Structure 1
Amino acid sequence: MYIETTDIYPDMDPRLQRALDRRERGDTTVATASSEEDEIGVLALVDDVDRFADRDGVRLGAVIGEVDGRLLVTARVPLSRVEEVRRAPGVRSMKCAQPLRPTLQATVPEIRADRASAPPGSLAGGGAGVLVGVVDTGLDFAHRNFRRADGSTRVVAIWDQSGASTPGSPFGYGRRHGAADIDRALGQADPYEALGYGPVPDQPGRPKGTHGTHVCDIAAGNGLGSGVAGVAPEADIAFAEPAVSDVAWQGQEVVGQFFGDSVQLLEAVRFLFNEAGERPCVVNISLGTHGGPHDGSSLAERGIDAMIAERPGRAVVISAGNSFERGVHAAGTVPPGGRADVRVAVPELLTAQCEVELWYAGGDVFRAELISPGGDVLGPVALGSNARVRADDGTTLLFVSHRANDPGNGDNVLGLFLDERVPPGVWTVRLHGERVVSGGYHAWIERNDSSQASFAGEPRDDSHTIGSISCGRLALAVGSYDAHVPGRPLSRFTASGPTRDGRAKPELSAPGHDVFAAHSRTGTGVVRKSGTSMAAPAVAGLAALVLAEARARGVSLPAGALRSVLTETARVDPPPVVWDPRYGHGRADAAECLRAVRELSPAGEPSGPGCPQPGGGQTGLGTSGVEATGLRTGLETTGL
């Protein structure tokens, strides 16, 4: 076993470096629903969209929104042109797509979203007039919980990103099914075949199945099939199902398939907000990933923030993740002139590439060495360089990228990509402090459901395990507790904050343990599932109720004001503190949220469209209006 340095553009995003390394070794990508052969999905921060799109080979996807005075876009770029496009004038940052994976009866009364718990005079109306958008897999549109009493659909649109592309498809791929299409299919003997879309049965190793149906029912099911309604049963529903990863390799070294990626995620959220139009809209994302800076600076998180900030009455709710006690986070300090070891335990029969990311301050300079399970010392890998670890037969076992000054946050990142044939056992990353200002570091191991690697011994640390797309400044992250047990204990799996930059995430917790909700392909049945994936849609439904109440009363709720309503009304028994790294600010409380919104309108009277308001006009509530009621607001209300 030996190590060799490479010239694979070490100042690029580590995943782009890895992609170019694989291409140089002869691997190619297969065509997917949204990309052609030898293309890769990217997020790009650019000065001029037209100029970027005019570059040879670039296929523009969606314009996500404004970030720091520039525009964030999705695109597909040929691997052969990645370096040229990344270095082109006006391209400020470009990131490779990052893989994602999917992460009732007690839920509604527990969060006090039932009719009996609503405060007198509530106008929430079960979320009527609000669109609940869900990014997930496998919506069973034929389940009675998503249909009206007359049998027609409540689903205004489904975008199946992997469906056969049709003219007018969102961003040029997949297939959009509108309400009329769904209603026509519901009139056929096999509605799934008629529509050309439907949840596939659960299969080992496949993420599709009942997940999206279950999540959607918690947020907005009406109970006409199961007998138990979700949190916002009168809301409209839109659904986006991501396609397989844009980084689908073929050849000698095949990487496992994932559930979508960060490029397709942003396009899905853009689609859902576009479907909402002028209506208030809440988007639920019960997906997760471990790798990333965990400080809100990733382009995926900033893109979500940008879309939320475009107008009041928008929210994105994301599951906090299920990674507590899984050994996927480590943290420590490298002393000046000293060293620190980070040990990664690689399991037998690794079934997919293992990725490790280690982030540290831009003012520090670390030198890295690798020590194999057999004791081989490999390196060094200096800051600003990269390298391959090869077996004696020349097979690449591991790619190392040590990037300086990431454009998103100015920090340094050490990325390790271990191929499936890497020797199992404990690999040691030895960090030498060549220049130390702060010395601190955080490391994460990417999620792999079939063969998860973990950190071995110290400095393993179960804090900061919240999902990496859950760390944005405007999106809401949700943890899970068990509503069936006295004392409402935390679910053992629910991830822990804070973010790497010290912000309080998650914001809230909700029931996510043993939740019964709609089961695909049963028509009326339910199934039990646990996870923060089940807790997030409870808060998404609650946000829909709050926005419906606010709309009826003529109250404008930008992101920061909505956050204040949700967090400052949370119940704190448990947790007994202002903020807990796993409970968040407390357990969601719909009744108190609606009461808080009522108090924001003049004299508590309705003032929305069609509702008379004292004094003749309508009121809009910005940041100052919320502060006047004593509700805290932060920078979130002012944008990014």
Structure 2
Amino acid sequence: MSLTWSHEYFDQKYDDAYADWLSYVSRNFPTQEEDYIVPAVWFGRPGFRNNFEEIFFPAGGGGKAEDRDIPPYVAELFLDAPPQFSGEEVVPTHFPLKEWRQLVDGPNSPLKNSLVEQVIVGRPVPADSVIYRGTELEIQELAYSDDEADEIPVIVGIIDEGLAFANERFRNGPTDTRVEFAWLQGGRSVSGGVYGFNRGFELTKWDRTIEGKTVPGIDSLLKLCRKGDLVDEDLFYALAGVADFGRLHHKAAAWRVSHGTHVMDLAAGYDMGEDKKKRHIISVQLPSAIVAETSGLGLETELVNAVGYIFHRAYAIRKRYGYDKVPPIVINFSSGIRAGPHDGSSSIEQYLDRILNYWRDNHSQVQFVLPAGNSFQARSHACFSFNNPSVPPGQSIDKVDWHVPPDDRTSSYIELWLPQDLCPEESKKISVTICAPSSTVSSCELVADRNNPGQASIALRESEVDEGLVCKAYFQQRSDSKRTHNNRDEESKMRGRYLIALVPTSFHSSKAALAGAGVWSISVKYTGVEALELHGWIHWDDAPISYSRFGRQSFFEDPHYRKFSDSGEYQEVDHELSAIRRTGTISAIATGNEVRVVGGYRISDGRIATYSSADFKGHEDLPNYLAPSETSKTNLGLIAAGSRSGSAVPLNGTSVAAPQITRLIADLMACGEDDDAIVDLLRDKAVKDDIDIEHSGRRRTPPGTTPKLSKERKGAGRLKLPESRPSNSLRGDFGT
């Protein structure tokens, strides 16, 4: 086996490193599906949306999207946009693989269009989720009488996977759901489609008429599946198409434990005997193919679609129930991404900030809740440091090892980010080299030069194999999207990013070369004299709950890193000479200004959960606060709903801390508190509760053995919250 490094051409200005890499991977390491689509979200410069048809479909006509000669490969809501999206140059697409390759590899590729700022490409999903164009919703009005519920109506949006929404925790009665809309983004497309988005299928609470046929809603399906006072939920999911065993991909709602159901219960689950008719739910189930893609690539596309869907369907809820205005909305997205700029400047973070502010200023209240992440002990963050006064003179932190495990059937990724506002000349003083396992020869240097496409990437290839690419590293300047809505015509600031990508270390049916498992060495050289730090993150690569294992998590190694302290507990403080950092592990989509970010702590002794991620060293902005994510050292996680009614299961992680804050925010909205008051109330409560927890006397460890809560992890403090599931049997009397 002969491995050779070389420089390769890469158009830094117009091409996208991830798109280039995924093009190779999709050809040589295909999914189980023979036919699939490629989801992507396009972020454009001013004029992008108005010229979208010319850029993507030059043969199309004029008029509305559905009247033009455009296939249903576009989320049309973003083209013929209602007011909340009219100022955004963002359009999600979902092209079949053949059309996608023709699009991006052709001479008129949108990637090379000057109006395209960035494209984020996801992993392929089944092609049968894009067949039918969505037909416009017909809303039936149904106004409540004033005495049915005193509280203000609130919409809880849940974006997750494995949403078993027929569970009784989301019903007012046996056949009366609180789920107004359920969109399965990766579901098999059916007649009528999903209006505005043209992907998957949706279920509504009420029946609809499509092309002269009655399509049963959730309530009608519940009645059809009712057996006495209970509902046959397995039959419901089969009839609804949620558990479709005619398709290859994972059916999370068919398992005993599903992440999304657990999260939705913590955020919006109630016993049927409680009067919560005005606590409406809009659920968006992520495609299982995207969830199974362990790196998190593609989540941005689904998130943009999901937020747009929740806002658009919120109008329908207003019309259906005759509300004077759109009810307040709180959205929970218990997922995240590890790699990114981590400074609030990513395209998705800036998009969320703008769209949330616009909605808040022009429509109704809205809050968006995210988990902090579970990467504190994951060894997924490294910091290369040069000329740093805190490091002994003459020493630099310029190397880290990357441990890549065997039997990994997915690509592995590292992103290295240069400092903000680094001038081009200073950037050229930085270079990266890579050394493969069992090799004594490092790669050629990849210099951080944004104007040298001939040497903008380096590749490791196996010469004896036709498709011999093993590793590729790219340098590219990424746009800093941190700019206001009114000055978008100003030149974007740019920030340098290295992407290092490896092919799988194992694959069942590929003739392409595989990456070697073991230790890959990453070295950074800086010839300047200024103090400088580069931060790098490994993408997540572990199997989600109940999913088959395809990826295996890689991690950084360093001789100075200590996993455990002398007492046997997890070490929580970084060594000054170690490249591996526990700080700076906050989720890469959680550093925007308009989101609420939640970490986790253990109820029994008040300690921060060992995995709960941290802000950068010396920073104390994120997470905003902590909520329970563990019961005790021996009783892991929190108990909430399993997939079927009456079941309860424990799950842990900051993903279960976040929905408790979502629930609290919904309660505050229902009491009439506005957005500013909610932010203040949450902060004040966190400060007060944290003092109570500190002096509650509940600690079970000897004095002096519990580490002090670090400011990079605690935010405003720990919130004391009531159990969201005090009962599992209160069903009440609902008659027939």
TM-score range, shorter chain: 0.7 to 0.9
Aligned partner letter, 1:492:
T
Contact (CA 8 Å) 1:141, 1:198: kept in 2 or not?
no
Report matched runs for 1:8-407 at 5 Å.
8-11=10-13, 12-22=15-25, 27=28, 37=36, 39-48=38-47, 49-57=49-57, 59-61=73-75, 62-63=77-78, 71-76=89-94, 78-82=100-104, 84-97=109-122, 128-149=152-173, 151-165=175-189, 166-170=191-195, 171-180=197-206, 181-189=217-225, 190-198=235-243, 209=255, 210-224=258-272, 235-245=279-289, 261-277=299-315, 278-312=326-360, 313-335=365-387, 340-361=398-419, 362-363=422-423, 364-365=426-427, 366-374=430-438, 375-383=440-448, 384=450, 385-394=456-465, 395-407=468-480
Contact (CA 8 Å) 1:146, 1:222: kept in 2 or not?
yes
Shift of 1:274: 1.8
**What is aligned with 2:571?**
none
**What is aligned with 2:129?**
none
Task: For residue 463 of structure 1, give the secondary structure of its aligned residue in structure 2.
Answer: coil
Report matched runs for 1:474-513 at 5 Å.
474-483=594-603, 485=604, 487-498=605-616, 504-513=621-630
Distance 2:42 2:33 in 1: 17
The percent identity for this pair of structures is: 23
**What is aligned with 2:586?**
466
Contact (CA 8 Å) 1:510, 1:588: kept in 2 or not?
yes
Task: For residue 262 of structure 1, give the secondary structure of its aligned residue in structure 2.
Answer: helix
Distance 2:164 2:291 in 1: 28
Distance 1:247 1:539 in 2: 24
Aligned partner letter, 1:86:
L
1:517 alignment partner, one of 607, 628, 640: 640
Contact (CA 8 Å) 1:47, 1:91: kept in 2 or not?
no
Distance 2:122 2:535 in 1: 22
Q: Deviations over 1:45-88 (max 9, x none)?
A: 23121202332359432539989975223234623433731232
Q: Deviations over 1:505-560 (max 9, x none)?
A: 11111111221111112x2121111111110100011111122222xxxx542xx5
Aligned partner letter, 1:188:
L
Contact (CA 8 Å) 1:45, 1:72: kept in 2 or not?
yes
**Residues 40, 188 of structure 1: alpha-carbon distance in 2 compared, 3 angstrom cutoff:** closer
Task: For residue 279 of structure 1, give the secondary structure of its aligned residue in structure 2.
Answer: coil
Distance 2:250 2:286 in 1: 17
TM-score for both structures, normalised by structure 2: 0.67
Task: For residue 9 of structure 1, give the secondary structure of its aligned residue in structure 2.
Answer: coil
Distance 1:405 1:135 in 2: 27
Aligned partner letter, 1:585:
A
Distance 1:434 1:67 in 2: 46
Structure 2: gaps spanning 5 or more residues: 58-69, 126-148, 207-216, 226-234, 316-325, 389-393, 451-455, 482-492, 505-513, 543-550, 559-577, 631-636, 696-707, 723-736
Aligned partner letter, 2:444:
G
Task: For residue 379 of structure 1, give the secondary structure of its aligned residue in structure 2.
Answer: coil
Task: For residue 468 of structure 1, give the secondary structure of its aligned residue in structure 2.
Answer: coil
Shift of 1:44: 1.4
**Residues 516, 22 of structure 1: alpha-carbon distance in 2 compared, 3 angstrom cutoff:** closer
**What is aligned with 1:448?**
541
Distance 1:564 1:322 in 2: 26
**What is aligned with 2:679?**
563
**What is aligned with 2:517?**
424
Task: For residue 690 of structure 2, give the secondary structure of its aligned residue in structure 1.
Answer: coil
Contact (CA 8 Å) 1:32, 1:244: kept in 2 or not?
no
Distance 2:330 2:345 in 1: 22
Task: For residue 525 of structure 2, give the secondary structure of its aligned residue in structure 1.
Answer: strand
Distance 2:238 2:627 in 1: 36
Shift of 1:169: 0.6
Q: Deviations over 1:325-384 (max 9, x none)?
A: 110011131349988112211112223111000101233421111112222211111224
Distance 1:149 1:524 in 2: 14
RMSD: 3.6
Aligned partner letter, 1:517:
A
Contact (CA 8 Å) 2:410, 2:503: kept in 1 or not?
yes
Contact (CA 8 Å) 2:627, 2:657: kept in 1 or not?
yes
Shift of 1:590: 6.9
Distance 1:478 1:368 in 2: 35
Q: Deviations over 1:13-42 (max 9, x none)?
A: 32123234557xx55977989xx8574513
**Residues 68, 424 of structure 1: alpha-carbon distance in 2 compared, 3 angstrom cutoff:** farther
**Residues 179, 22 of structure 1: alpha-carbon distance in 2 compared, 3 angstrom cutoff:** same
**What is aligned with 1:111?**
none
Distance 1:526 1:151 in 2: 21
Aligned partner letter, 2:41:
V
Distance 1:32 1:44 in 2: 28
Structure 1: gaps spanning 5 or more residues: 101-124, 249-254, 592-640
Contact (CA 8 Å) 1:320, 1:506: kept in 2 or not?
yes
Aligned partner letter, 1:569:
K
Distance 1:434 1:21 in 2: 34
Distance 1:538 1:126 in 2: 23
TM-score for both structures, normalised by structure 1: 0.76
Distance 2:244 2:647 in 1: 15
Contact (CA 8 Å) 1:98, 1:263: kept in 2 or not?
no
**What is aligned with 2:717?**
586
**Residues 145, 69 of structure 1: alpha-carbon distance in 2 compared, 3 angstrom cutoff:** closer
Shift of 1:448: 0.8
Task: For residue 224 of structure 1, give the secondary structure of its aligned residue in structure 2.
Answer: coil
Distance 1:308 1:147 in 2: 29
Aligned partner letter, 1:145:
R
**Residues 233, 435 of structure 1: alpha-carbon distance in 2 compared, 3 angstrom cutoff:** farther
Question: How many residues end up aligned between the 2 structures?
Answer: 542
Distance 1:133 1:154 in 2: 12
Distance 2:557 2:403 in 1: 6
Contact (CA 8 Å) 1:371, 1:427: kept in 2 or not?
yes
Q: Deviations over 1:191-213 (max 9, x none)?
A: 2122222599xx99986641111
Distance 1:315 1:492 in 2: 27
